[in-house]
Amino acid sequence: MRLRCAIPLAVLLGCAAPVYAQDQGFARSQSFLKTYCQACHQGSSPVGGFHLDRVSTPASLKAEAAKWGSMARRVHNGEMPPKGAPKPTVDELEQFSQWATQALRAAACAGGIKPGPAPIRRLNRDEYSATIRDLLDIHLDIGSALPADGGGGEGFDNAAETLFLSPIHSEKYMEAAKFATDFAAKEFKSRQKLLIAKPGPGVSEEQAARKILEALLPRAFRQPVPAADVALYVGLFNAARKQGREYEEAVFFAIRGVLVSPKFLFRVEPPNRTAAVQPVGDYQLASRLSYFLWGSMPDELLLDAAASGKLREPAVLKSLVGRMLRNDRSLGFAQRFIEQWLGTRDLVGTKKPDPKLYPMFDNDEELRSDIRLQPVLFFRELLTRDLPVLDLIDSTHTIGTSNLAKLYEVKLPVPRDASKQPRWMELPPNSNRGGILGMPAIMAVSSYPYRTSPVLRGAWILDAMLGTPPPPPPPNVPALEEAKAGAANRTMRQRLADHRANAVCASCHSRMDGLGFALENYDVIGRWRTEDAGQPIDNSGDLGPVHFKGSGELRKVLLDRKDLFVRNLTNKMLGFALGRGLTLEDSCTVDAIVEEVRNNGYRAQALVEAIVLSVPFRYQAPLPVAKPSAVPVPTKVAALQRPGERKE
């Protein structure tokens, strides 16, 4: 179950939430349910098969956690009560869903920190590509030939729940393996890495092939490989020779077999069949680490550390984190994490600025790539320099290039005619470019392609930065008047003012619009502007009673809410590291990590270290005890099953 906590204005503003105090919370939740839900969810045939009796005791917070979670989510999303039934106010519904979320968390954490599930997962497209690259030492983007992976869990495409293997995948992976081995067979570097033995005087062809496979298999499968498995692939080699293939061709044929093996394509961790929580195996831990921070297979050093049994020592893990982040391969982590977390992948898709209005984005490939990479490289610098993650909100430095300097119209200290390489540089005072907020990529994905929207930008900050997304808009809200007669010379603020005056609309919009207004100085592609529709920009914003002007003061307001920000970042990164959606139990881990990061000056490496040292990252839960199926398997199906086959 995936829960996003809904936080009412009171919490967002940093003041204590007076309503729903813990002791009365449960009673209040019941009166909320009586008022708005009872009409349909009680009696002998409750609607949707859901009776409120199931959630009428405090013990149900644990026993019926999934039901409570779905109530909180459906109330937050405005789906329950359905259209037509008496509606709670936005404040009421947020109070209920926030209280339920926190009560659920407290109930789940009462039992201590638990590791949570460790699902089997296929290497996703990027991981597959990077693993082939490192295994065969070829520089080839093989992934582009594979089907794209959907996002799951905390919004990332490495989430196990989406990484099943369809027939289409199997076919494409077969093709990719052939392509990769054909390519490697022609590459000098790759041949050197793979063909470590040759048939020669005193060495038979089979012996040479065996040597080659013995070296390759443990790297490909990311753990020691029993002799029987090696024999399997030597068998492939022999079969290919018998069919008349040349020696080398037969070796690459066997390697192709390795690349389509489930042991290569999947990350399988042997299940924990004991009754207690256990550390994951040494080699599995090595893979968890390398797929988290490199998106690829473990290197020799990691495999050695696993072999020696040292990898599981916290001090060793900590020192490896720094080393791995400084390695070039961590760029892939920064890119996949940042672009999916902040939504900047959409810059080349649904959020692409309109080519007619912003031709420079469309025409200038260099500029486009600088814009897209800026937040990625910025984040990677925070990691490698071990700077505070709060620098994402505001910072004294940024990633600059000569193209970006031109777009910014800020005197960035980029030497003219210098190489166009992105560099880490200090910003001039009051540049309005600290942190991610002034970055063109962020300003573009929180706009419409053809105009800025304080509403979208505010919603983006609430969701991506603070992890407190506004409830989805109600249906049938009239769109803003676009370039209609008379609208052209009204500023965005004037156009939005109408619904800010309406109490129903204001219940959501007072939270979003006020944040977005402070960013109105940035146009769709992040250029600084002082006028909109021929009138000076009024960049005053507000969040409840807090008033501020411009992006500089907005950054301060966000820094005042740093705990929300860090918690959200931790949620995202833990979900990414574990490659799955977070569960309620994981929120206890998140609490512990946030505390650790706070105690370490919010350092970026402290965050990564705390994730790597966390219980879910290093430990494995016992296999759930299979409950005997209540429904007997029909004899017909049972008869069709072969012995030893399991019915899904």
Which residues sit at the interface with ligand HEC, rule CB under 6 A?
36-37, 39-41, 47-50, 70-71, 74-75, 78, 80-82, 85, 90, 453, 455-456, 459, 470-474, 477, 479-480, 499, 502, 504-505, 507-509
Q: 388: left (phi > 0), else alpha (psi -120 to 50), else beta?
A: beta
Nearer to ligand HEC, 115 or 470 (CB): 470
Nearest CA-CA partner of 472 in 6, 23, 27: 6
Tokens 């990719």 sit at which residue?
176
Min CB(4)–ligand HEC separation in Å: 13
Closer to ligand HEC by CB, 72 or 107: give it.
Answer: 72
**Integer Cα distance of 597 and 618 in angstroms:** 18
CB of 335 to ligand HEC, least distance (A): 25
Q: How far is the CB of 31 from ligand HEC (least distance, A)?
A: 12
- Minimum CB separation of residue 499 from ligand HEC in Å reads 3
Give the CA dihedral 373, 378, 384, 385, nearest 10 degrees: 160
Q: Given the complex with ligand HEC, which of 261 and 491 has the nearer CB atom?
A: 491
Neighbours of 639 (CB within 10 A): 8
Q: Give min distance, CB of 505 to ligand HEC, in A.
A: 3
Please give the Cα distance from 169 to 564 (Å, whole number): 39
> What b/e string do you get for 473-486 counting C-beta neighbours within 10 Å, with b at 16 or more?
eeeeeeebeeeeee
Beta carbon nearer to ligand HEC, 71 or 566: 71
Nearer to ligand HEC (CB atom), residue 1 or residue 260: 1
CB of 475 to ligand HEC, least distance (A): 10
The distance of closest approach from Cβ of residue 356 to ligand HEC in the complex, given in angstroms and rounded to an integer, is 19
Residue with tokens 């460790």, as numbered in its chain? 118
Q: Helices 205-221 & 227-242, crossing angle to 10 degrees?
A: 130
Instruction: Give the N- to C-terminal CA distance of the chain in Å, as an integer.
Output: 21
CA angle 292, 294, 299 (to 5 degrees): 110
Which helix (DSSP H) or strand (DSSP E) does residue 535 occupy? strand 535-536
Structure tokens at 548: 């501020």
In terms of Cβ atoms closer than 10 Å to its own Cβ (0-12, 13-18, 19+), residue 622 is middle
Q: Are 566 and 19 in contact (CB under 8 A)?
A: no
Q: Which is nearer to ligand HEC, 81 or 143 (CB)?
A: 81
For 278, list phi and psi in degrees, rounded to 5.
Answer: -130, 150
Which residues, listed in sequence order, are joined to residue 200 by a DSSP beta bridge?
203
Distance in Å, CB of 542 to ligand HEC, minimum: 17
Nearer to ligand HEC, 36 or 408 (CB): 36
Query: Shortest approach of ligand HEC to residue 26 CB, angstroms?
Result: 15
Give CA–CA dist 270/282, Å, rounded. 12
Shortest gap between Cβ of 191 and ligand HEC (angstroms)? 52
**343 versus 422: smaller Cβ distance to ligand HEC:** 343
Q: Tell me whether residue 41 or residue 222 sits nearer to ligand HEC (CB atom).
A: 41
Q: Which is nearer to ligand HEC, 56 or 327 (CB)?
A: 56
